[in-house]
């Protein structure tokens, strides 16, 4: 019975995932957009990333202890930027993508325009929905986070990070769009570099921010569909023409 129960539960999860994917394809197939169903990553023991901890210490005027016997940190090494994971990994920027895919099993989708379908929006905060987007010869990290910025009032924060340097990030513009029940909401901005830390972007509010009631207006049976489009910035395009 235990074996049957576990197998039956796995089958139900698979049917639910396929049903969500079918609904998304039916809605967005007319636009010719690729759809990726993204399941939440929920952690009851939320551990802030090292960059967030360092930022908090700096704001409080607390400097990290200095031990002269420790090796000097290589400035070219990048810590793991995957939210909701206290990951000790660090490496060069060129291998961040392979680390995220192999260690944290983050999916990657290719295409000029895609649809990010986040499931189970009702889960308690903190919860993240993460996917990588390959476009225009670069890789981007889309993070949708449910977080309580004020106690008892969860909000949704969506941002696009370039897996590259801030200079490279300035060459692009990303657009996030919600469209349902004759309502449309757009957010357009320059992506931030993954070197700048996802936590600081959310703290600054430099992203798409939805309160719970607004997210419910655009959700469908607990799932939220976000259209994503990435283009080269106008300044970069004009310089290329010259």
Q: How many domains, in total, are found in the chain?
A: 1
Q: Has residue 107 been placed in a domain?
A: yes
Q: Has residue 9 been placed in a domain?
A: no
Assess whether pLDDT exceeds 70 at residue 213. Answer: yes
Q: Has residue 226 been placed in a domain?
A: yes
Q: Has residue 1 been placed in a domain?
A: no
Give 129-171 pLDDT, tens digit per residue.
999 999 999 999 999 999 998 888 899 999 999 999 999 999 9
Q: Has residue 206 been placed in a domain?
A: yes
- pLDDT score recorded for residue 7: 56
Assess whether pLDDT exceeds 90 at residue 231. Answer: yes
- pLDDT score recorded for residue 107: 85
Q: Has residue 111 been placed in a domain?
A: yes
- pLDDT score recorded for residue 173: 96
For the chain, what is the total number of helices (H) and then of strands (E)? 7, 15
**Which candidate, 30, 229, 205, places its Cα nearest to that of 111?**
229
Query: What confidence category does residue 115 fall into, taking pLDDT thresholds of 50, 70 and 90?
Result: very high
How far apart CA 29 and CA 219 sit, in angstroms, is: 18
Assess whether pLDDT exceeds 80 at residue 97. Answer: yes
The domain in which residue 131 lies consists of 32-41+74-232
Confirm if 189 and 173 have CB atoms less than 8 A apart.
Answer: yes
Q: Has residue 223 been placed in a domain?
A: yes
Burial class (CB in 10 A: 0-12, 13-18, 19+), 60: exposed
Give 28-58 pLDDT, tens digit per residue.
443 445 788 888 876 534 444 445 444 443 3
Can you give the CATH number for the domain in which 123 is found?
2.60.210.10
Q: Has residue 162 been placed in a domain?
A: yes
- pLDDT score recorded for residue 83: 61
Confirm if 239 and 129 have CB atoms less than 8 A apart.
Answer: no
């Amino acid at each position: 019975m235990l074996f049957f129960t576990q197998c039956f539960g796995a089958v139900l999860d698979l049917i639910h995932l396929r049903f969500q994917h079918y609904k998304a394809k039916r809605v967005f197939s007319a636009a010719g957009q690729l759809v990726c169903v993204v399941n939440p990553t929920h952690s009851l023991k939320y551990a802030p990333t090292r960059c967030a901890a360092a930022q908090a210490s700096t704001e409080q005027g607390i400097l990290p202890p200095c031990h002269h016997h420790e090796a000097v940190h290589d400035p070219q090494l990048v810590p793991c930027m995957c939210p909701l994971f206290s990951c000790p990994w660090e490496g060069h920027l060129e291998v961040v993508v392979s680390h995220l895919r192999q260690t944290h099993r983050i999916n990657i989708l290719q295409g000029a325009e895609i649809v990010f379908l986040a499931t189970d929006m009702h889960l308690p905060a903190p919860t993240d929905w993460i996917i990588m987007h390959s476009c225009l010869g670069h890789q981007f990290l889309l993070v949708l986070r449910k977080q309580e910025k004020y106690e008892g009032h969860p909000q949704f924060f969506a941002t696009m990070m370039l897996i590259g340097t801030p200079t490279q990030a300035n060459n692009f513009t990303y657009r996030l769009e919600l469209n349902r029940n004759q309502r449309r909401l757009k957010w357009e901005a320059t992506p931030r570099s993954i070197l700048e830390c996802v936590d600081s972007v959310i703290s600054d509010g430099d992203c798409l921010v939805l309160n719970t009631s607004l997210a419910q207006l655009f959700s469908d049976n607990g799932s939220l569909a976000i259209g994503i489009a990435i283009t080269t910035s106008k300044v970069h395009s004009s310089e290329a023409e010259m």
